[in-house]
Structure 1
Amino acid sequence: MKRTFKLAAAAAAAAAIVLAGCAAPNMQDAMGEANELAGSVSGDVRAELQRDAAQRESASRLASELLAKPLTMDGAARLAVANSPAFQAALAQSWGEIATAQQRGLPGGLVFSFERLREGADLELGRLLSVGLFDLITLPQRRAVSKIASEQARVRMAGAVVDQVSNARQAWVKAVAAREIEVYAVQVKDAADASAELARRLQAVGNFTKLQAARQHLFYGDATARLATARQHAVSAREELVRQLGLTDEQARALQLPDRLPDLPKVAKAPEEVSRALASQRLDARLARLELEAAGRGHGVDLVSSLVDVELGARRDTRFEGNGEKSTTRGYELDIRLPLFDWGSTRRAALDARSLAAANRYEAVSRSAGSQAREGYAAYRTAYDQARHQRDEMVPLRKTISEENVLRYNGMLIGVFELLADAREQVTGVIAAIEAQRDFWLADASLSSTLIGKPMAGAPSFTPSGAAAPGGGDAAH
């Protein structure tokens, strides 16, 4: 009996040491899995947790290379995952979650107790080596739950990568579009300035009425206000991008943006392509399924462990008599907690509620997936059609009108105010086309994020702000 118990205790100790040695989570493998899960959105962008000086130095060199030239949309995504300390904090938190999940699958360990008692000339030494018997019995179930929790942490880490890449791309689109709109707002203001100055001079010599001059000055004041708003939007959009990329003040000063947004793709994504992308595993659905599985597997273990606790220990006591004699006592102890005052009704209700909530969350995610995909694709397709309409129809028409008005002006069929009014309308039309192109790229990023199960807020409104300026139609009157 004693020999059998010693072997069991030794085996338990050896198992605990082996399991403890394998407990450290492999962040590199976890990061690789997260990058793979986020691949449909991140593409070639690979996130990495920077844990040493060499990795941080590599990220700094990458940032310098990307900032040495105008930053592209994909470059912004790469810079955001490599340079942002907020994103690195999110990855570190995910690493901690993985470690905590793996810790739950380990045995509680061995407990060693030592006693030293003296009575007169007699000395007694007591040693107790104990292990949680119930911990060992439930270890397979707890390890299964631990693996599920670890996978949940990996999926959440993939979601953090998706959010970082999508937000960086959207911030880049907004910053480039705001800068481009600011340039054209300057042209509108210059045209309004010229028109107002000419009206003032004509009124001074009596060739313009007070009403006609006031209309031109009204448009000049409106164009000035629009330019101030456009400049503020450009500053805000740029600073939003700076924050999203995690740039230092020095890096922010080095940041260069291209002069215009990328061209529209030749063809839009087809509904079948969206359906195939949606058919693959979404991150939110995967998280909900893992939560449901964890609730089911952990239900019994959590309930019983909260009510019953069993500890088995090997005891060895040595007594030294005052006359020099020595005696040794060996045996074992069994400690059992009896749930006299709590038979688990409240705990059982809480676990049942958790399982029911997990099941309903999984069903809710499954039902909403198709609706979110249809809404996201509708916004994407509308934005694409609007942008193509502006590019292929509206801008060429305005250009034709402008060219015809120049010919009419050269033939003295219209005056200079009609020509200036047409120039203003031409520029506001180009601004509307830029906004439509911006809305498309925002919708494109939003659709990609939605299909992987990370819907984004801020869908384009499709309300062009480049409408005809007030007073433009009365320029000749």
Structure 2
Amino acid sequence: MMPLRATHAKLALSALGLAVLTGCASVSLDQNINRVNDEAGSFTGGKLALARTLDERDQRAQAAQALLAQPLEQKDAVQLALVNSPSLQTLLAQGWAESADAAQAGRIANPIFSFERMVAGDELEFGRALSFGLLDLLTLPARHGGATRRIEQAQLRLTSDVVDQITRVRQSWVRAVAAQQTLKYAKQVYDSAEAGAELAKRMQAAGNFNRITRAREQAFYADAATRLSTAQHQATASREELVRLLGLDEAQEQTLKLP
């Protein structure tokens, strides 16, 4: 049989190996997301999450539908992006992947388990060993420190990207609402200018307006038409930008109402 002292030594080495493994840099998706919600709570409202199951996706779709059932205020636009935007979901998945890669770089290679059977005369002895690469053990502290720094950098980058994305949603909402109001005003001006131009035409035909007065009304009408066309373009472009940032599909886009 194997001597008791040798058995204790092997157990001690095994315990050391487990301690080394547990000391490696580690990261989890929930930790990543919770930290973003803590550090950027004023942007996410603590509601940033990654949908990982079909039930979670269905719940998020229902939440998006409820938000789109009424005119979308700015805070609602942020909530809609949090539950509906594929871009935000991609950021979370990429951030987790970067952190996991960094953590993996700080770990030692998988241990090698060996089993041997030795025969000496009438005696039979079995040996078991759990071994690690010596270079891996010697460089572990440096790699652990590097992995920890990379995890921290990935976490900060993820938080920054989420804040940037939500900021873009807020800004896009403001532009879309402002463009909608500008279009409404431009339409009113155009209708007034069109009526004025028609009246000037009739007044000139009746001999009450000269050509200069009518030309002035026509110039105002042409300018109003140009401004209306520009406003329509801006309203369409800003709305499409908001739709893209919110991750809306065609059906959702049709239900989107701005205040």
The question of a shared fold, defined as TM-score above 0.5 by the shorter chain, is answered with: yes
The answer to whether 1:19 aligns with 2:6 is: no
Residues 86 and 247, structure 2, Cα contact 8 Å, conserved in 1? yes
Matched, 1:227 2:191: no
Question: Which residue in the other structure is 2:217 paired with?
Answer: 216
| C-alpha deviation, 1:186, in angstroms | 0.8
Task: Choose the corresponding residue for 1:35, options 34, 37, 57.
Answer: 37
What TM-score results when the alignment is normalised by the length of structure 2?
Answer: 0.84
Task: Give distance in 2, aligned partners of 1:193 and 1:255.
Answer: 31
Structure number with the bigger relative contact order (C-alpha 8 A, sep ≥ 6) is: 2
Distance 1:6 1:43, change over 3 A: closer
The amino acid that maps onto 1:19 is T
Aligned-partner Cα distance in 1 for 2:46–2:254: 24
Deviation readout 1:353-375 (Å, 9 max, x if unpaired): xxxxxxxxxxxxxxxxxxxxxxx
Aligned equivalents of 1:190, 1:248: Cα separation in 2: 34
Q: 2 CA distance for matches of 1:128 and 1:11?
A: 12
Q: Which of the pair is proportionally richer in helix?
A: 2
Shift of 1:160: 1.8
Shift of the 37–129 alpha-carbon distance from structure 1 to 2, 3 Å rule, reads closer
Identity among equivalent positions (%) equals 44
Is 1:46 aligned with 2:76?
no
Answer yes or no: is the 8 Å Cα contact 2:25–2:144 preserved in 1: no
Q: Is the 1:76–1:169 contact (alpha carbons within 8 Å) kept by the matching residues of 2?
A: yes
Is the CA contact (8 Å cut-off) linking 1:45 and 1:77 kept in structure 2?
no
Cα distance, 1:113 vs structure 2: 8.5
Is residue 165 from structure 1 mapped to residue 166 from structure 2 by the alignment?
yes
Deviations 1:146-176 (CA, angstroms, capped at 9, x unpaired): 2222122111111122012111111111111
Residue of structure 2 equivalent to 1:110:
111
Question: What pairs up with 1:91-130 in 2 under 5 angstroms?
Answer: 91-111=92-112
Which residue matches 1:89? 90
What does 1:131-146 align with in structure 2 at a 5 Å threshold? 131-146=132-147
Gaps of 5+ in 1: 115-126, 259-477
- 1:187 positional shift: 0.8
* Mapped contact 1:71–1:255 kept (Cα < 8 A): yes
Deviation at 1:177, TM superposition (A): 0.7
Partner of 2:124: none
Tell me how far 1:45 sits from its aligned partner. 5.3
Contact 1:37 1:155 in 2 (8 A): no
Structure 2 counterparts to residues 7-406 of structure 1, below 5 A: 10-11=14-15, 13-15=17-19, 18-19=21-22, 25-40=27-42, 42=43, 44=45, 46-111=47-112, 131-258=132-259
Q: Whole-Å Cα distance in 2 between the matches of residues 256 and 54 of structure 1?
A: 27
Asked if the contact 1:84/1:247 (under 8 Å) is kept, the reply is: yes
Larger Rg: 1
* Structure 2: gaps (5+ residues): 116-127
In structure 2, the residue matched to 1:276 is: none
TM-superposed CA distance for 1:223, in Å, is 0.5
Q: Note if contact 1:47-1:161 (Cα within 8 Å) is conserved in structure 2.
A: no
**Whole-Å Cα distance in 1 between the matches of residues 203 and 11 of structure 2?**
110
The aligned amino acid for 1:91 is L
Q: Distance in 1 between matches of 2:49 and 2:178?
A: 30
- Decide whether the 8 Å contact of 2:29 with 2:96 is kept in 1: yes
- Over the aligned positions, Cα root-mean-square deviation in angstroms equals 2.6
Q: Which runs of structure 1 show a deviation greater than 4 angstroms over 4 or more consecutive aligned residues?
A: 4-9, 111-114, 127-130
Offset of residue 145 of structure 1: 2.4
More displaced, 218-227 or 44-53? 44-53
**What is the distance in 2 between the residues matched to 1:10 and 1:69?**
62
The whole-number CA distance in structure 1 between the counterparts of 2:89 and 2:100 is 17
8 Å CA contact 2:14–2:130 kept in 1: the answer is no
Distance 1:113 1:7, change over 3 A: closer
Decide whether the 8 Å contact of 2:190 with 2:228 is kept in 1: yes
Cα offsets for 1:238-267 (capped at 9, x unmatched)? 111000000011111111110xxxxxxxxx
Q: TM-score, normalised by structure 1?
A: 0.47
Shift of 1:212: 1.6
Q: Secondary structure at the match of 1:241?
A: helix
Q: Deviations over 1:21-67 (max 9, x none)?
A: x8763211221111111124x06252111111222122111101100
Give the Cα–Cα distance (whole angstroms) in 2 for the partners of residues 54 and 154 of structure 1: 27
